[in-house]
Chain A
Amino acid sequence: MMKLKIRLSTALFFVLSFGVIFSQSEVDEAMKIAGPAPEHELIKKLEGKWNVHFQYSIGGDALMGSKGAAEGKMILGNRFLSFDQSVEFAGMNFSSLSILGYDRRINKYTYYGIDEMGTYAVTGEGDYNISSKILTLFGSTLDPTGKSSKMQDYKFVFEFVNDTEIKCDVVFIMPDKTEQAVVKMTYKK
């Protein structure tokens, strides 16, 4: 029964697709587990309209600043947050779309992001530290410049300062484990 319940905790469709007959109560439980968890309240904090202070690395520790706007909306029955952002970047408008979630199968926060800097997506997954109020999502992508086949490790670090201020750093993790913040964003309502 435990195994069955674990299996039921995966997406409902997949449960049904295995060709196994489940009772109505088991299907009901699967549907419940397929819905949002208390952890989704964290990503809900990004809902609404935000002013963005955007800083990006111009080499070394130097950062160039700009501003922009963002809006977060909970979607698909509060399972995900869709986050649209537009900032000035190197004199041009630069838009991005991020999807934040909490995957109840693996008990991790998840991230999917695309933007106008490339034709590929970046992803991440990680945990929230309730005492530091920091959500850290780790990922890896092919060298963003396309000039090598090396992978670039990175992390998104969200600090939920209070209800009206959230910070997000994009940090590259180098092969020697040193870290370099390439983008720093502060969201204020």
Chain B
Amino acid sequence: MAKFKFSESVSNGVHKQYADLAGEWEGTAKTWFEPDVIGDESPVSGKFRSILGGRFLLHEYTGSMQGKTLEGITIYGFDCIRGIYQSAWIDSFHMGTAIMLSESKPDSESFDVMGHYDTNEEGTEKWGWRSELKIIDSNNIVLTAYNVTPTGEEAKATEVIYKRK
């Protein structure tokens, strides 16, 4: 049995929150290649679109990394059956040719999802990639991602502070 009804979620739940983010945004993206040292800080602009009848939120963005243009797409979802947030992230820089699939713990009260990536190094466990979407108000949001070691230590990896255009 589904934990949530889509009809309710789209009118006053997570899918409504997603739909409210539709529009064009701009801001600053920070990237850390090592803890506490900003490796890059550059402008970023993006567009959120509600797709497939409001079931998903598509985020397309363009920015740069050390002077080179990058672009990416994140698809945000909320699985009403399981009551979990989900996302898929692809881009032209960080992810290479891989898709980062992430999901939240059950009953998470906000978008806070974890994905994993393989370092391809023999004997090494997968690392985590935790992403948050914080809605400050209707015109300000913050997207933050953390690298998580196999032992659970977190280090901020990227942060996008967006303002609605």
- Report yes or no: B52 in contact with A115, Cβ–Cβ below 8 A: yes
- Report yes or no: A114 in contact with B77, Cβ–Cβ below 8 A: yes
Q: Hey, what's the 0/1 contact readout for A31-49 against B, CB within 8 Å counting as 1?
A: 0011111001000000000
Surface stretch bound by A, among B22-30, B83-91, B104-112, B135-143: B83-91
Indicate if A11 sits at the interface (CB-CB under 8 A): yes
Task: List residues 102-132 of chain A with CB under 8 A from any CB of chain B.
Answer: 102-106, 110, 112, 114-116, 118-121, 123
**Contacts A17-B157, A110-B99, A119-B81; A10 near B90 (Cβ below 8 A):** no
- Report yes or no: B1 in contact with A146, Cβ–Cβ below 8 A: yes
- Chain A residues with Cβ below 8 Å from B92 are 76-77, 79
A interface residues, Cβ below 8 angstroms from B: 3, 6-7, 9-14, 16-19, 33-37, 40, 75-77, 79-80, 95-97, 99, 101-106, 110, 112, 114-116, 118-121, 123, 142, 146-147
In order of increasing CB-CB distance, the 10 nearest A-B pairs are A34-B96, A13-B94, A11-B96, A120-B79, A146-B81, A19-B34, A16-B33, A119-B80, A146-B2, A76-B92
Subset of 18 A-B contacts with CB under 8 Å? A6-B121, A11-B95, A12-B94, A14-B117, A37-B97, A76-B73, A95-B52, A101-B90, A103-B99, A110-B99, A112-B101, A114-B75, A116-B52, A118-B81, A119-B9, A120-B77, A121-B75, A146-B1
Q: Total number of A-B contacts with CB less than 8 angstroms?
A: 143
- Report yes or no: A142 in contact with B55, Cβ–Cβ below 8 A: no
- Chain B residues with Cβ below 8 Å from A13 are 31, 93-95, 157
- Report yes or no: B88 in contact with A99, Cβ–Cβ below 8 A: yes
- The answer, among A6, A115, A120, A146, for a CB contact under 8 Å with B86, is A120
- Chain B residues with Cβ below 8 Å from A18 are 119
Indicate if B72 sits at the interface (CB-CB under 8 A): yes
Residue with the highest number of chain A CB atoms closer than 10 Å, among B79, B99, B122: B99
- Report yes or no: A11 in contact with B71, Cβ–Cβ below 8 A: no
**Contacts A10-B120, A119-B79; A17 near B147 (Cβ below 8 A):** yes
Indicate if B56 sits at the interface (CB-CB under 8 A): yes
- Report yes or no: B90 in contact with A80, Cβ–Cβ below 8 A: yes
Q: Bound complex: CA of A37 vs CA of B80, how far in Å?
A: 36
